[in-house]
Amino acid sequence: MTSSFDPIPNIERLIRPELLGLKPYEPIEPLEVLSQRCGVPVDKIIKLDGNENPYGCSPRVQRALADYSYYHIYTDPLQRDVRQALERYVGVGSEHIVMGSGSDELIDLTLRLLLEPGDKVINCQPTFGMYSFSTAVCGGQIVDVPRDSAYAVDVAAVKKAVDPRTKAIFIASPNNPTGNVTLRDDILELVRTGIMVVVDEAYCEFSGQTVAPLVLDHENLIVLRTFSKWAGLGGLRIGYGIFPVNIADLIFKIKPPYNVNIAAQVAALASLADLEYLQGVVRKIVAERERLYSELKRLGFLEPLPSQANFILCRVLDGPSQREGSRQIVNELAKVGIFVRYYDTPLLRNFLRISVGKPEHTDALVGALRRIGGSQ
């Protein structure tokens, strides 16, 4: 018997209608799933699909987490220790800094702060998927302004797209997945629109370029950073934003009080205390990026794009014979336990994105690609 209180049949009437049709974010698969899929044990998988750090975190992080004795105590909602430790690393006062459960959470909090239903966010495609995803979840409307043929932000087109409902412009620099940075002057020109400009610097340790100091002089510039890539803490979820002080205060006001777990904070502190080691790891990855670039180019059927991040985007070239597309290449690589990403969208037709691994990962990948390319 169904009563009028039966919650099942009509429950969707309670859901925000715009979320019922939301396209879910496509996350990468966890190691165990990849391992099961290809029958290669977890420790033999070559995972080059998530821009993760192949060297893992600092050994000091492992020790700090083992030695910490206050996991039963709630964290400091004001995140004083980590923000203080970041002052020197970032070069701005801690009053500008707010920590998030990954920079993903700060994308969401920033949009929650800015958007009323129907407000617009400018997105420069192809780029990171979270900007459009979080905009949709927050009830906003995405305005796509495609990058130019070299994947640079089309500043003139972005300025033209701004209207009274535009609240934010998102720029990843270096951009994921294209790997190029946006010039400081271009960012300053966008800041002059008066709209909130959010520069996502998830990969800035690999490019050596940042606009973080500019936040001190502009009321509408936000820079997002993360420990996920350079410090190898992706699984612990900790990132931070550099905000104008009044915006930082508002983010503190609306964020969940204990948003960053204590393990992540302990790990971030231990990472900042081991900068020399981590910067050595970054240098190794950057050197390997350049070697991977030349190896990919030498294969003859890929066109890698120069990258300032820890991954390389490649176009799969059309050959005289029927070449395999990026999706088939990804499938072939997966069979031998090597995972990379493919893109086959109108803006990125037939592309691969390959994260930079250790030298032995490059060798295994290039060997497998040579076999795949040679088999046609």
Assess 372 for contact with ligand PLP (CB under 6 A).
no
Q: Residue 30, SS3? A: coil
CB of 203 to ligand PLP, least distance (A): 7
Nearest CB to ligand PLP, comparing residues 227 and 301: 227
- Verify cis geometry, omega within 30 degrees of 0, for the bond prior to 359: no
Residue closest to 51 by CA, chosen among 340, 346, 294, 292: 340
Sheet strands (E) in 68-195: 97-100, 120-123, 141-144, 166-172
Sole binder of ligand PLP in the list 58, 103, 132, 326 (CB under 6 A): 103
- Stretch of residues binding ligand PLP (CB under 6 A), selected from 13-21, 98-106, 213-221, 284-292: 98-106
Handedness of CA 73, 76, 81, 86 (dihedral sign): positive
Closer Cβ to ligand PLP, 182 or 228, answer by number: 228
Edge-to-edge strands, sheet with 351-355:
302-304, 311-316, 351-355, 341-343
Please give the angle made by the CA atoms of 259, 279 and 185, to the nearest 5 degrees: 75
Residues found in the chain:
376
Decide: is 128 part of the binding site for ligand PLP (CB under 6 A). yes
User: Does the footprint of ligand PLP cover residue 172 (CB under 6 A)?
Assistant: yes
Write the interaction track for ligand PLP spanning residues 180-219; mark x where CB under 6 A is met and - where it is not. Answer: --------------------x-x-----------------
102 binds ligand PLP (CB under 6 A): yes
Site membership for ligand PLP, residue 228 (CB under 6 A): yes
* Residues contacting residue 172 through CB under 8 Å, at least 6 positions apart: 127, 128, 199, 200, 202
Give residues 11-30 in contact with ligand PLP (rule: CB under 6 A): none
100, 242 in Cβ contact below 8 A? Answer: no
CB of 175 to ligand PLP, least distance (A): 7
Nearer to ligand PLP, 130 or 215 (CB): 130
Query: Nearest approach, Cβ of 156 to ligand PLP (angstroms)?
Result: 23
Among residues 61, 87, 76, the alpha carbon closest in space to that of 268 is found at: 61
Residues in a beta bridge with 302: 316
Q: Please say which residue, 102 or 373, places its beta carbon nearer to ligand PLP.
A: 102
Looking at the Cβ atoms of 140 and 232, the one nearer to ligand PLP is 232
234 binds ligand PLP (CB under 6 A): yes
- The token pair at 42 is 């977890």
Of the candidates 104, 108, 288, 324, which one interacts with ligand PLP according to CB under 6 A? 104
Which part of the chain contacts ligand PLP (CB under 6 A), choosing from 39-47, 97-105, 116-124, 148-156?
A: 97-105
Give the per-residue contact string, 47-76, with ligand PLP (x = CB under 6 A; - = no). ----x-------------------------
Q: At what angle do helices 275-299 and 359-374 cross, to 10 degrees?
A: 20
- Is 244 a binding residue for ligand PLP by CB under 6 A? The answer is no
Q: Are 215 and 196 in contact (CB under 8 A)?
A: no
From 68-76, 101-109, 161-169, 368-376, span contacting ligand PLP (CB under 6 A) = 101-109
Task: Please give the helix or strand (H or E) that residue 241 lies within, else none.
Answer: strand 239-242
Residues that bind ligand PLP (CB under 6 A): 51, 102-104, 128, 172, 176, 200, 202, 226, 228, 234, 239
